[in-house]
Structures are given as C-alpha cells and as structure tokens.
Structure 1
Amino acid sequence: MSGQVYKPVVFPYYFQSRAARAALCVALFSLAWAGGGVAAGLNGHAVVPTSQDEARLVAALQAVRSNRLDEALNTVESLIKENPKFRLAQLVYGDLLLAKAQPLARFGSIGAGPDERIQDLRAEARARISHHLKHPGKDLVPSVLLELSSDQSRIVVADVATSRLYLFDNRNGRPELVADYYMTSGRGGALKQREGDLKTPLGVYFVTDRLDPLVLPDLYGAGAFPVNYPNEWDQRLGRTGHGIWLHGVPSATYSRPPLATEGCLAVPNQDLQAMWDLLEKGRTPVIMANGLEWISREQMRERRVSFRAALERWRTDGESRDPQRYARNYSKGFRNGSRDYKAWVEHKRRLNAAKRYIRVGVEGLSVFDYPGEPDIRVVTFQQDYRSNTLNSRIRKRQYWQREADGQWRILLEGRV
C-alpha cells in the first residue's frame, strides 16, 4: 500500500441516515450495537484499548457511527499503510471504499480471497470489537484471583471464550490490569484432554522458560514462553500432551484467527515483545479459562479471608502433632506417591511419634481458583518446617477441593 495515492471518497446520500450508518457498522463487524458505543464498556467503565492498532480500528468504527465517514476511511488507510500485514484492517478499508457505491450486506463484501479466509477475518473482527463493547474496566478482577504472592510481579489471565489475554501487575497484593491483547487459541477448542486434540488446556500454569526467536522456527514469531502443561492436576486426571506455549505469530502475519493454533496461545508479535521482559520463569502464573467471571475487589477480599481460615487450620493442626487432627484437612481421595489416604495417615502417625515439637511457617502465598473446576483451588507457598528431628524449607503446591460438606480439603500436594 506504500506510496499509493488515495483520492477523497464521497459517500452517497443514503449514509446520511442513522439507520444506514448503523447498518454499515453491523455489516463491518457482525455485531449489534450496544447503548453507549464502543467507548463504553460493561457497567459504564471507561475503556482505553491497549493495542494502539486495535484502538485505531475501533476509533474508525466509532467514526462511522457518528457519520464521520471520511475520518473513518483516513484512520483505516493510515493504519494499513503502517501495518500492511494487518489483513483485518485491509478488509475494513475495502468495505469502506465499496460503501461509497452501494450498501453493504455484510462484513467482507469486497473480499476476493477464499471464503474460509473471510470467515476467519469476520471471527477476528467479532472477537476484537466484542471485547471493547464488554470490557470489564479496571475496577473489577477475574474471580480466579484470590491471593497473589509477593514474588509474582505479573499475572497472565487468558480467556479462550473471548480470545483475550489480560496482563496484571501485582501491586502489594492488589491485581491491577495494565494491558490486554487479542489472542489466538487452539482450533480444537478448550479443555485439552489428550495429545493431538488441538485444544487449549484450562487450568493454572506457570512460565517455565523464555525462548528467543533466534532459536525457534518462524511459526513462533517474536519468541515463546512455555508453560508447565500437563501440571500436577492434569497428570492426576490422565491428561496427555506437551508443548503448550504462549508465543508470537509468523513474521509475514499480523495476527491469526481466534481458533488457529494446535493448543498454544498466540498473540501479535508486538504484544509478545511488550511482555518479553515482564514474565518470569517459574514465577509468572498463566491462568487459562474458557469464560471469566469479573468481581469487585471487596468480593475478592472476602473470598481470600474465608479461605485463609481453612489454610490456617491446616497449619495449626500440623503443629499439634496429632495425626487425626492433621488428617481432617485432607480429602479421603488424597494420595501421596504410592500411599493412599489411610496409609499416609499411618505414616504421619509414625513420624510424629518421635517429635517433641513442630513449627510450620507459610510465606509467599498465592491462591487461584482452577478454571473449569469450580471446587478446586491451587495454593502455592514457601513452607518453613521446624522440629526436633527435621528442619526444611521447601516450595509447596497444594490442590484443595471443596467437598460435599462445604469444607475445603487437600486432594494433592507436593514440592515445586
């Protein structure tokens, strides 16, 4: 597109009516307009789009709705000159040009490519614009976040259902939304179960590495952050597969359709580069959900305080040296290596018989709800254990389950 001169476009009389302009918007983005326009999100929160390219595309749509059609055309024209690989913007531009001659029946009316490609662009448009129509704003947080550890400076939350990836700062235990990006996930859908099903897993994962683009095929674009799928919970449930990454897109591509990977999460290269120095190996959580519930910070605090009581009971019961008291914090379905619940309780009884005292310290605590599992929570902390026979300091991860009686109990635990 570079160097080409574009003549001013004169839009015909039928776009002077509000209904016609709204029809153009619907055709462009396959969406019904919500009251308040694109700039107003859920519950009236002001929205400042993170991606500047996406913000400009949204601004063009808003201009169409406000009868600033030349402004819309100029905005999109400028966008594709700067980002010629942004195919969605190119298609919008083509539709705006076509609109000067005839009303548009649907988004992609001018598309000359394969129908599958046009369908992919329609899906991308729907995902991008729906996000701005329903953006939760900065006053709400995902319900999966209960407590953040001081060593987790950033938290990534990916919503497969809306093709959106959210980046939070941890500010003294308070999650603050600092960025959100359009995202591609597995073409097989969500909830990975087995190798080769092309699905994106749902769960709580952690970054395990950072792979420089120089050592990767071009498919992964600006680099990659592998995560620890299958995690301990996946393994317990017999889920298989490997190689789930958060990565970029091929260098000749600006973005990919919402469902296009083999199970990984992919974001535009400029967005991956923005996160490159922020995500930390072994520390940064990557929480993958298929739909997010957004709650107030007060609700988050109440849920955190409530669960802290269960964790404190586990800690003090451990210090009691009474194996039966300690065991009440564990599910009957608990297994520890080759030991089932009954064998593990007996093992604890024998160990505690020689102890005169036990002290258990808990530091660096994080607690997350497990997406897709409404009664499972993932708890990670630094355990400082002291007794007359053993002193140790380990990083521990537990999976707690809320059982039929309403009590939270540990179903799985181990070192990390």
Structure 2
Amino acid sequence: MRIFIIFLFSTFLFADVIDTYRYYGIQKTIKEIEKKLQSEKYWLKKLKNIDVKYGYFENPTFILFCNKITRTLQVNLYKKGKLKNLTTFNNVIVGKLGDKQKEGDLKTPIGNYTLINKIKPSNTFYGPLAFVTSYPNLFDKLNKKNGYGIWIHGKPLDGERGDLSKGCIVLNNDEIKHLDTLINYKKTVLEITQNPIYARKDDIAKILALIYKWRDAWRKSDLKKYLAFYSQQTFKRSNGMDFKQFKEYKKRVFDSKKGQKIDIYFRNIQITPYQNVKNLPIYKVEMYEEYLSPTYVFKGNKEIYLQKFGNQFKIIVEK
C-alpha cells in the first residue's frame, strides 16, 4: 500500500487529488483517480506535448512506416512522447498496389504488423537477412485474408531480380543490414499503407478514456454498460463469435462473477491508426492485461480494434 501511495503522488500531482487523500483517505483518492482516467479532458492534457502522428506508445518503440505509392520505408524511434526519424529508405521494392487478399496475388498487405523474427534465409534469393512480419494478423484472419511469408528482406546474393515483389518489402542488401543496426525488431511496429492514415490527438484521448470506462464496467460485471462499448453490427471475436454469441457468453461469465472482487490492470498500451484501403477511422490497441478474480487469473497480451461511428468509438474486433 505504501508503494502504491507513493506512485499516486508521483504520477498524479494534482492538488485536488492530494487534498482528497488528506481529507478522505486512499479509497476516495482511488475513486477520484478512476474518474480522471475515464476523462477525455485528462488525456488531452496528458497528450498535449506528445507526438501521436503514428500512434501512442507507453514504451520506447521503433516504427517502420512503408508507403507503397512513394515506395519509401521510414524508420522512426518513439521515445518519451517524442518522434525521431532515424532514416528513410527510398525506391524500396513492394508488391502490386491494393490490399493483399489471398496467397499468390503478389500484393504487399496494407495494415499494422509486428516483426516476429529475424532470420538468415536459407535461399540466397532473399539476401543476407530478413525480418518476418506478423501477417496475417487477427484483423486479416477475421476478414478472411490468407497467405503467409511476408518479410522485409534483401536482394539476391548471386544475381539480379526484377523490380517487383511477390508481396514482401525489399531493400538493397546494405540497407537491410543498416536497418538491422537501427532497430530492435522485438520492439518494432510496421505500418504499411497506400494513402497514409495518421492518428488524431482527440481520437487517442477518446480511446484512452474509453478503455478505462470499459474496464470499469468489466470490473463491476455491469453487462449492459460493458456491451455498449461493442459494435452490434460488425463485432467479431478472435474465436469467430459475433455480437449475439458474445453477449450470451458474457452474460454467463458476468453472472458467475457477481459479488466477486475483480481487479484489471493495463500496461504498455499501444494505440496505432490502422492502415486500410477504405481509409476508415480504425485504431488498433495492444496492451498487457492482468485480470485477477477469485476464480480466474489471466496475465497476457490483449488486442482490440476500434472503429469510429459518428463521434463514438466501438470495439469491432477483440482477442
């Protein structure tokens, strides 16, 4: 408890919060902090001097931004709210224009991915090294896209190749080696686009406030409020459930949790504008979740996608 109080004072240096603790104690203070976390105004103030062009990141993150039209790959470092361009590779080779839909269509996918491995290809056609991407991601799979083996790699070690990719992002061999010196692939996100979508600060603030409102309904097993955060028309869960099936499932879960003390914590939140050919206002949210209840404990990564309908965001995909 002592460490928690020190954290509160060092993180939320607001006179009203400190006075609340002085006059009413820790429980009242926690309630006041929860109100702030659910407030767009609080998050807009917190984001005031933070660059969110490519998204919001709570930890240092490398951001690769590939534009298929301009054939560029920007390498950026996001750290402590500041964005720094480390280099930009020009004239990169990419696949056909349009979004990848199926194996063999020779298109480089449009979307947001992570780098899941760094390898030395056994086939010299792919150059000295390659970064393996997470395509197809959850959003791709639920939208019935397929294919695999989308890499960032070099050029043949023993011969020339044409100026067309089968779907990968291809750099010169000196460039792929240079990229390896610039990034930690385990802390890198990749955004691939044709018509760039950049994050809006008011959208990020709205999403952060929504996350904590959603968490509050979840902790209290308030089914009606909880389900209000989901799109009834377009929601899909990672296991294939639609909204109706998900509602029935959550009703059973929430009924079994009535009266239980539930704690939910989110860390390492990442919010990125999801690149898509229709330029829909979609954001991808990834974070580390701790769910603690007397009957169930979960500690692991959480992934959700939100789309803006009018002035409100709704969850359209969840894992």
- Pick the TM interval, shorter chain: 0.7 to 0.9
> 1:275 maps to what in 2?
179
Match of 1:359 among 233, 251, 263: 263
Give the superposition deviation at 1:306.
Answer: 2.6
> 1:219 maps to what in 2?
125
1:201 aligns with 2:109: yes
Q: Larger radius of gyration, structure 1 or 2?
A: 1
Match of 2:204 among 304, 329, 332: 304
> 1:379 maps to what in 2?
285
Match of 1:343 among 245, 250, 266: 245
Work out the CA distance in 2 between the residues paired with 1:142 and 1:201: 23
> 1:261 maps to what in 2?
165
2:125 partner SS: helix
8 Å CA contact 1:160, 1:290 repeated in 2 = yes
1:147 aligns with 2:56: yes
> 1:291 maps to what in 2?
195
Give the superposition deviation at 1:301.
Answer: 3.8
Call closer, same or farther: CA 1:411–1:157 in 2, change over 3 Å.
Answer: same
Q: Which amino acid aligns with 1:345?
A: K
> 1:118 maps to what in 2?
none
Q: CA RMSD in A?
A: 2.4
> 1:167 maps to what in 2?
75
> 1:369 maps to what in 2?
273
Q: TM-score, normalised by structure 1?
A: 0.59
| 1:350-380 residue CA offsets vs partner (Å, 9 max, x unmatched) | 2222322222111000011111242221100
Call closer, same or farther: CA 1:141–1:253 in 2, change over 3 Å.
Answer: farther
- Structure 1: tracts of 5 or more residues without a match: 1-139
| 1:320-356 residue CA offsets vs partner (Å, 9 max, x unmatched) | 2111111111111323325331222222222222322
8 Å CA contact 2:280, 2:307 repeated in 1 = no
1:208 partner SS: strand
Work out the CA distance in 2 between the residues paired with 1:334 and 1:326: 14
Work out the CA distance in 2 between the residues paired with 1:300 and 1:401: 13
2:119 partner SS: coil
Higher strand share: 2
Work out the CA distance in 2 between the residues paired with 1:142 and 1:359: 29
Work out the CA distance in 1 between the residues paired with 2:267 and 2:52: 24
> 2:84 maps to what in 1?
176
Call closer, same or farther: CA 1:142–1:327 in 2, change over 3 Å.
Answer: closer
Call closer, same or farther: CA 1:183–1:289 in 2, change over 3 Å.
Answer: same
Q: Which amino acid aligns with 1:146?
A: G
Which stretch shows the higher mean deviation, 170-179 or 233-242? Answer: 170-179
Alignment coverage as a number of residue pairs: 264
> 1:101 maps to what in 2?
none
- Structure 2: tracts of 5 or more residues without a match: 1-49
> 1:245 maps to what in 2?
151
Call closer, same or farther: CA 1:300–1:192 in 2, change over 3 Å.
Answer: same
Give the superposition deviation at 1:291.
Answer: 3.0
1:406 aligns with 2:311: yes
Q: TM-score, normalised by structure 2?
A: 0.75
Identical aligned residues as a percent: 23
